[in-house]
Amino acid sequence: MPQPLTVTRNSLEAHFKLVAEILSELVDVHAQVDVEVNWSMSPAVAALAGEGCERISRNRGRAGVLVAPLKHLGQGLWAWLSYREEWSYGREIGGRKRFIFRSASMTVHFGWKFDAYKPQMFRAEWAGWADWGGAELGYQAGEAGHPHWQFDALESLSEEGASERAAMLRKILSDGDHGGVRDFIPQLPTDDVRDLVSHQQLSRIHFASAAAWWKASPNCDHAHSPDRVKDLQVWLRQTISYLSSELDRLQIA
């Protein structure tokens, strides 16, 4: 069974300093990013800060998130990066307060500089073995993969009113269906299909990014918890480096 990753505050402060250095190396050279920690929150939250960052809103909630320019895609369009870590307050061991790792996440947005509209495209997240409000420690989202990717583009780019139209279409399609099997479903117009598809919450699916399913058990597991803060640092550096190289495929001529 996995064990939660716990560290002292001094170790955590050193970790966040290194995370800031990693982010500074990997984002655009004209940005000077840092990591700010709100120790008064429970859990404690670390997030991106610094010069060259811009403040935007995320899907479904958190307003005022700072993003840093990651890569210019051409014709003024940029890929932007946000970062967040959460650590719960644990019990004291040997007279020192311990912190328990909950999650780390980086999110990529697309948008222009100095424009608040930067749609959320996808995320790389790592949730650890922690207390998620249940009676016992466990992984977030049940049997989901950790770390994992989640994709937000459908939700971010859906047109205003699409969710209402999709709900209406679902009602129309279900009218008269009392549990039997439909023999025929009429072909929907393209715009109607687009509304139905764009309203699917694809962002809820966790696409495992560390699953060797072709290997024999137990090496085929798709849920992993970091053993050391070093694991998080390496994951952060390697993931952003990979993203940066893959974003080159989107360069606009």
Does the pLDDT of residue 220 top 80, yes or no? yes
Is the predicted pLDDT of residue 173 greater than 90, yes or no?
Answer: no
Are 109 and 57 contacting, i.e. CB atoms less than 8 angstroms apart?
no
Q: What is the pLDDT of residue 124?
A: 98
Give the pLDDT band (50/70/90) at residue 184: very low
Q: How confident is the model at residue 145 (pLDDT cuts 50, 70, 90)?
A: very high
Helix (H/G/I), strand (E/B), else coil: 14: helix
Query: Is the pLDDT score of 188 beyond 70?
Result: no
**Candidate from 57-71, 162-176, 201-215 with smallest mean pLDDT:** 162-176
Q: Higher confidence at residue 194 or residue 179? A: 194
Token pair, residue 243, equals 């993203």
**Looking at 48-62, 84-98, 179-193, which range is the least confident one?**
179-193
pLDDT at 154 over 90: no
The H or E element that residue 201 is part of is: none
Domain ranges of the chain: 6-156+203-250, 159-198
**Residues in a beta bridge with 7:** 99
Average pLDDT over residues 162-184: 54
Note the pLDDT of residue 60. 75
Which value, to the nearest 10 degrees, does the dihedral of the CA atoms of residues 173, 175, 181, 183 take? Answer: -60
Of 27 and 1, which is predicted with more confidence?
A: 27
Q: Which residue has the tokens 């390496």?
A: 234
Tokens of 29: 């050279």
Q: Which of 100-109, 112-121, 159-168, 204-213 has the lowest mean pLDDT?
A: 159-168
Identify the pLDDT of residue 176.
52
Q: What is the mean pLDDT of residues 17-45?
A: 95
84 beta partners: 47, 105
Task: Calculate ∠ Cα 207-188-198, nearest 5°.
Answer: 30
Q: How far apart are alpha carbons 165 and 185 in whole angstroms?
A: 18
Q: Assess contact for 101 and 127: CB atoms under 8 A.
A: no
